A and B are shown apart, each in its own frame.
Chain A
Amino acid sequence: MLHLRLLTALLLTAPAAMAQEDLGAIFGKDSVRRDPVSSTFKSTRIINGQSNETLAKRDLDFRVAHRFGDMGGSGGGSSTFFGLDNSTDIRIAFEYGITDRLTAGVSRAKGSGNFSQLWEVLGKYRLLQQTHDNRSPVAVTLFANAVASSMKSSPDKADPNYFDKFSDRVSYVAQAVIARKFGNAFSLALTPSFVHRNRVGYKDMNNMFAMGVGGRLRFSNRVAFVADYFYSFRDSESRDYYETRGTKFYNSLGVGVEIETGGHVFHLNFTNATAILENQFIPETVSTWTHGQFRWGFNISRRFALGGR
Chain B
Amino acid sequence: MPRRKTLSRIWPVLLAGGLLAACTSEQAPEPSANADCASVNVTTARIYAIVQQNCTNRNCHPGGSSPLISDFSTPAKLKNYISANGENWTFRVTHSNADMPQSQGYPALSRAVRDSIACWVNKGMPD
Contacts and interface: CB of A to CB of B under 8 A. Distances in A.
Interface stretch (A45-53, A57-65, A167-175, A186-194): A167-175
6 contacts: A113-B107, A156-B112, A158-B28, A167-B23, A199-B24, A246-B108
A173 B113 CA distance: 30
A86 interface: yes
Given A158-B112, A199-B28, 4 more contacts: A75-B104, A158-B31, A206-B27, A273-B105
B124 interface: no
A87 interface: yes
Interface of A is mostly: loop
A274 B30 contact: no
Nearest to B21: A167
A201 B28 contact: yes
A47 to B, nearest CB: 16
Contact of B67 (A80, A170, A285, A286): A80
Nearest to A166: B22
A112 interface: yes
Contacts of A160: 28
A146 B19 contact: yes
A74 B106 CA distance: 13
Given A85-B67, A155-B46, A156-B112, A274 B106 contact: yes
Interface string A143-183: 00010000010111111101000111010100000000000
Nearest to A201: B28
Interface of A: 69-70, 73-75, 79-80, 85-88, 104, 112-114, 116, 121, 123, 146, 152, 154-160, 162, 166-168, 170, 172, 196, 198-204, 206-207, 245-247, 272-274, 284-287, 291, 293, 295
A87 B30 CA distance: 31
B105 A287 contact: yes
Contact of A167 (B22, B31, B57, B102): B22
B103 A70 contact: yes
A228 to B, nearest CB: 17
B105 A70 contact: yes
A112 B108 contact: no
Contact of B30 (A113, A158, A167): A158
Contact of B27 (A79, A112, A202, A293): A202
Contacts of B58: 86, 88
